[in-house]
């Protein structure tokens, strides 16, 4: 599994159009020796095919009242939330927003959001730290059919649920969110829970008073704006700075936590299409774990200079792949063998294996061998020994 995760993470850095291309041996310019060293193409695809988080036999049937469309991914989501909350306490300014994982696969969780780049996908409610983008909690939106009815507005319900699950209520946190979540109802409830709120308001939510108790409502129209921006806050005072209300400046400074986390995720995630929606979600969450780990490294390291995120991910990949290769009795990075240490031997029981050097099932050129490499135990002809990867290390 460590080797499999190393390959998944590395595919986000070394991007190719299809998975079989990572094992393309037809052209020297396309060789990816690291991927070949860890797995054969067929083995990796089999692991990916049978990769599961739960036993499908234990999942309720679609017609069952206990059925949930996120059943196959829920253990990983729960683990992510548990670990993210345990290892890090966010700073005072946090934000709540929605994150869309683009997919057009068949699932009851599929949502259409025209304002997003992907438009179709599975939506997550995300609570993140405003400054770093550290994701403290995420919740998959299952759709209206699987959402229990509540007397609260949906935005209010989501924000309160995320804060409660992270144990951040009654601690003076300052939440920033957009007009989907923000309302006078949410502001009142958070004030009672010693939590502050700043965010935009939709135009259909009427502002009757400029100030109502501790709730400040404001409308601002910039020089190039056609419509005024409506804001609400229980923390910022009615004051201006550089010609703009402070409430606008605070919102712009602290609202980008979730979007920033999604942007960081996009850089080193290949976003490969998958017919199994839950697998795409699982891989996305694995990348989120790696992103959170880098933020923890930045917060807790005294190294000078601090490693870049790319270098950090590369070292995670090296560590995972090295542990996997040690388990297979394969040489790790930095340990070289001489050519005389690599020979061939007959396979016991008169069995045959595909030659690792000259056989390629993808092109129909399958060549069998009764001999194997003494180092990696893969099928190998004597004539192909000089072209074998083990001879080059």
Q: Count other Cβ atoms within 10 Å, centred on residue 116.
A: 16
| CA dist., res. 347 & res. 198, Å (int) | 70
Given a cut of 50, is residue 334 above it in pLDDT? no
Domain boundaries, given as residue ranges, for the chain: 2-51+268-327, 74-262, 339-392
CA-wise closest residue to 253 among 171, 198, 179, 308: 198
Three-class DSSP labels, 251-317: HHHHCCHHHHHHHHHHHCCCCCCCCCHHHHHHHHHHHHHHHHHHHHHHHHCCCCCCCCHHHHHHHHH
Q: What are phi and psi for residue 373, nearest 5 degrees?
A: -70, 135
Strongest mean pLDDT among 8-22, 249-263, 329-343: 8-22
41-88 pLDDT, tens digit each: 999 999 999 999 999 888 988 888 888 999 999 999 999 999 999 999
| 262 or 338: which leads in pLDDT | 262
Asked whether 104 and 120 are in contact (CB, 8 A), the reply is yes
pLDDT of residue 208: 39
Residues 6+ apart with CB under 8 A from 87: 296
**Residue range 136-164: mean pLDDT, rounded:** 90
| 220 or 86: which leads in pLDDT | 86
| Banded model confidence at residue 121, pLDDT cuts 50, 70, 90 | very high
Residues 6+ apart with CB under 8 A from 9: 268, 286, 287, 290, 313, 316, 317, 320
Q: What is the mean pLDDT of the chain?
A: 86
356-392 pLDDT, tens digit each: 888 877 677 788 888 888 888 888 888 888 778 777 6
Given a cut of 70, is residue 239 above it in pLDDT? yes
Strongest mean pLDDT among 133-142, 147-156, 338-347, 376-385: 133-142
Q: What is the DSSP letter of 379?
A: B
Cis peptide before 330 (omega within 30 of 0): no
pLDDT of residue 389: 77
Among 96-105, 305-314, 330-339, the range scoring the smallest mean pLDDT is: 330-339
| Banded model confidence at residue 212, pLDDT cuts 50, 70, 90 | confident
pLDDT of residue 337: 44
pLDDT of residue 372: 87
């Amino acid at each position: 599994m460590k080797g499999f995760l190393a390959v998944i993470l590395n595919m986000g850095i070394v991007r190719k159009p299809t998975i079989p291309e990572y094992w393309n041996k037809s052209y020297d310019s396309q060789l990816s020796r690291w991927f070949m060293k860890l797995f054969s193409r067929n083995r990796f695809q089999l692991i990916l095919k049978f990769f599961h988080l739960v036993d499908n036999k234990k999942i309720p049937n679609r017609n069952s009242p206990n059925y949930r469309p996120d059943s196959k991914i829920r253990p990983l989501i729960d683990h992510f939330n548990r670990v993210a909350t345990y290892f890090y306490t966010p700073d005072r300014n946090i934000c709540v927003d929605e994150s869309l994982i683009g997919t057009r696969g068949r699932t009851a969780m599929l949502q259409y959001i025209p304002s997003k780049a992907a438009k179709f996908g599975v939506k997550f409610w995300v609570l993140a730290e405003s400054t770093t983008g550290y994701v403290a909690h995420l919740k998959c939106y299952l759709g209206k059919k699987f959402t229990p009815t509540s007397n609260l507005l949906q935005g209010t319900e989501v924000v309160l649920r995320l804060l409660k699950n992270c144990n951040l209520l009654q601690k003076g946190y300052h939440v920033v969110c957009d007009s989907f979540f923000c309302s006078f109802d949410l502001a009142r409830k958070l004030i009672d829970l010693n939590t502050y709120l700043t965010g935009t308001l939709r135009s259909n939510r009427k502002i009757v008073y400029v100030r109502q108790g501790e709730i400040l409502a404001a409308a601002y129209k910039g020089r190039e704006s056609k419509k005024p921006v409506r804001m609400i806050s229980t923390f910022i005072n009615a004051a201006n700075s550089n010609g703009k209300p402070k409430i606008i400046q605070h919102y712009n400074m602290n609202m980008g936590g979730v979007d920033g986390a999604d942007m960081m995720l996009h850089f080193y995630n290949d976003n490969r299409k998958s017919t199994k929606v839950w697998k795409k979600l699982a891989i996305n969450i694995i990348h989120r774990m790696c992103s959170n780990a880098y933020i923890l490294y930045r917060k807790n390291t005294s190294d000078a200079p601090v490693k870049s995120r790319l270098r950090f991910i590369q070292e995670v990949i090296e560590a995972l792949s090295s542990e996997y290769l040690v388990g297979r009795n394969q040489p790790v990075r930095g340990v070289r063998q001489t050519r005389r240490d690599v020979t061939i031997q007959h396979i016991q029981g008169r069995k045959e294996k595909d030659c690792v050097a000259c056989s390629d099932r993808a092109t129909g050129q399958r060549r069998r061998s009764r001999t194997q490499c003494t180092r990696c135990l893969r099928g190998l002809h004597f004539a192909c020994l000089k072209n074998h990867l083990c001879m080059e290390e």
